[in-house]
Amino acid sequence: MSPWMRPSTLEFFRRAKAKKNYPVTEWLHGWFYMRFPYAYIGNGLGTRQPAKLWLRLRALWRRWFPPKAAPEGISKGGLAWAEGYHGKVIPLQAAREWVTVREPIAAALPEQVIPFQHARDLILEMPDHLALLDCPCRAARENPCLPLDVCLVVGEPFVSMVIEHHPQRSRRVSSAEALAVLEAEERRGHVHHAFFKEALLGRFYAICNCCSCCCGAMQAQRGGTPMLIPSGYRAQVDDDLCAGCGECEAVCPFGAVSAAAGPAQVDAAACMGCGVCVSHCPQEALALVLDPQKGAPLEVHSLISTPPSC
């Protein structure tokens, strides 16, 4: 069978056609993203192997669909990108729940959870279908963090798409294997992000386990493009327990913790609530607390519902 029309591609197009007010341009965008993720993402990160086809398509895309207006301090292109392609930080415990849920989910997430106009649907069909994909961000680097296979694709039709189109760079995994990857990445000090993309049916599709040195979304965030949403929590220090060892400062992926003098201090504005500092504190002096200014957490068990109709 032609690699251009695998069964998963046909299924993806069928679902796209059934989605109301979903333009054909997004069908093609989503297909291109899943078919050529290493060109799509790697070129944006400055890989030494640029995709000429992608460069041409991106130029046409920007001509046909010019970026929308953006608030001061954020580029027009950056805002448009974030509106349709963003990640929600989730602590390890929340990530564990995502790879162990067995019931289908169909929910349109409120703005308190996902504060963007687009890509807010959380629809999981066959949630026990899981796959690991070699991280396109890491693969684009000359000296990437290892291992590469840390992008966890969740549910259909996305799992079948990566397996059929990238058999050499992906593999199906069980919940137990997925849990082991999440926990290993947590030990490495990496962050779990639940990713949503407008071009992928406006839905959640993956949990990426990101390092601050390779991750394109974290790089964009530092550059002023709001691609990442806080978890809904922030870290809090117990001064009585803190020994000022500096371990939390060393592992914080967002540079939100300082232990230069005395007990550690958390910059509430910079903290994304990932929990990496909490899991690495030898004194157990840190904890995650709910912070209304950070939005609402993405909690899977509160969203379990009847199977979606599409």
The answer to whether position 204 is within a domain reads yes
CA 102, 34, 299 angle in degrees (round to 5)?
Answer: 35
Which tokens go with 185?
């990445």
Q: Where are the beta strands (DSSP E) in the chain?
A: 85-90, 105-108, 121-124, 130-134, 149-154, 170-173, 191-197, 203-210, 228-229, 233-237, 257-258, 265-266, 286-290
Q: Are residues 224 and 265 in the same domain?
A: no
Q: Are residues 14 and 144 in the same domain?
A: yes
Q: For the chain, give the percent of residues with pLDDT over 70.
A: 84
Do 154 and 203 form a contact (C-beta atoms < 8 A)?
no
- The label of the residue with tokens 């059929």 reads 164
Q: Is 219 in the same domain as 243?
A: no
Q: What is the pLDDT of residue 47?
A: 44
257 shares its domain with 221: no
Is residue 308 in some structural domain? no
pLDDT the model gives residue 306: 42
Distance CA 182, CA 168 (A): 21
- At residue 59, the pLDDT reads 54
Distance, in Å, from the CA atom of 50 to the CA atom of 43, rounded to the nearest integer, reads 5
At residue 54, the pLDDT reads 46
Q: How far apart are CA 114 and CA 101, in angstroms?
A: 21
pLDDT of residue 20: 87
Mind listing the pLDDT tens digit for each residue in 38-81? 888 865 554 444 444 545 555 555 555 554 444 344 444 455 66
CB of 284 closer than 8 Å to CB of 269: no
Domain match, 196 and 241 both: no
Assess contact for 131 and 171: CB atoms under 8 A. Answer: yes
What pLDDT, on the 0 to 100 scale, is given for residue 69?
A: 45
Q: Do 153 and 99 share a structural domain?
A: yes
Residue 310 is assigned to a structural domain of this protein: no
Running DSSP on this structure, what letter comes out for residue 69?
P
| Higher pLDDT among residues 134 and 25, named by residue | 134
- Per the structure, the count of domains in the chain is 2
Specify whether 86 is located in the same domain as 196: yes
We report the CATH number of the domain holding residue 278 as 3.30.70.20
Q: Is residue 309's pLDDT more than 50?
A: no
Residue given tokens 């805002």 in the structure block: 79
* 196 has a pLDDT exceeding 70: yes
- Between CA 22 and CA 30 the distance in angstroms is 12
Dist CA 140 CA 136 (whole Å):
6
Phi, psi of 285 (to 5 degrees): -95, -5
- Residue range 20-31: mean pLDDT, rounded: 88
In a domain, 249, yes or no: yes
Per-residue pLDDT at 219 exceeds 70: yes
The pLDDT score that the predictor gives to residue 43 is: 58
Tell whether 182 and 249 lie within a shared domain.
no
pLDDT band at residue 103, thresholds of 50, 70 and 90? confident
173 falls within a domain: yes
Percentage of the chain beyond pLDDT 90 is 58
Residue 307 lies in a domain: no
Task: Write phi, then psi, for 230 (nearest 5 degrees).
Answer: -60, 160
Question: Are 184 and 287 in a shared domain?
Answer: no
Q: Higher-confidence residue: 287 or 222?
A: 287
Buried-exposed string 117-135: b where 16+ CB fall within 10 A, e elsewhere: ebbbbbbbbebbbbbbbbb
In tens, the pLDDT along 108-153 reads 899 999 988 888 888 888 888 999 999 999 998 888 999 999 999 9
d(CA 242, CA 284): 8
Mean pLDDT lowest among 7-11, 74-78, 284-288, 294-298: 74-78
Task: Report the chain's mean pLDDT, rounded to a whole number.
Answer: 85
Lowest mean pLDDT among 99-103, 156-160, 199-203, 274-278: 99-103
Same domain, 78 and 128: yes
Q: Does 2 or 275 have the greater pLDDT score?
A: 275
Please give the residue that has the higher pLDDT: either 234 or 107: 234
Pair (207, 287) in one structural domain: no
CA-to-CA dists, residue 57 to 43, 64, 305, angstroms? 12, 10, 39
In this predicted model, which residue has the larger pLDDT, 32 or 153? 153
Judge contact between 257 and 248, C-beta under 8 A.
yes
| Lowest-pLDDT range of 17-31, 175-189, 270-284 | 17-31
> Within 10 A of 267 (CB to CB), how many other CB atoms are there?
14
Domain match, 83 and 18 both = yes
Domain range for residue 266? Answer: 233-294
**Band of the pLDDT at 105, cuts 50, 70, 90?**
confident
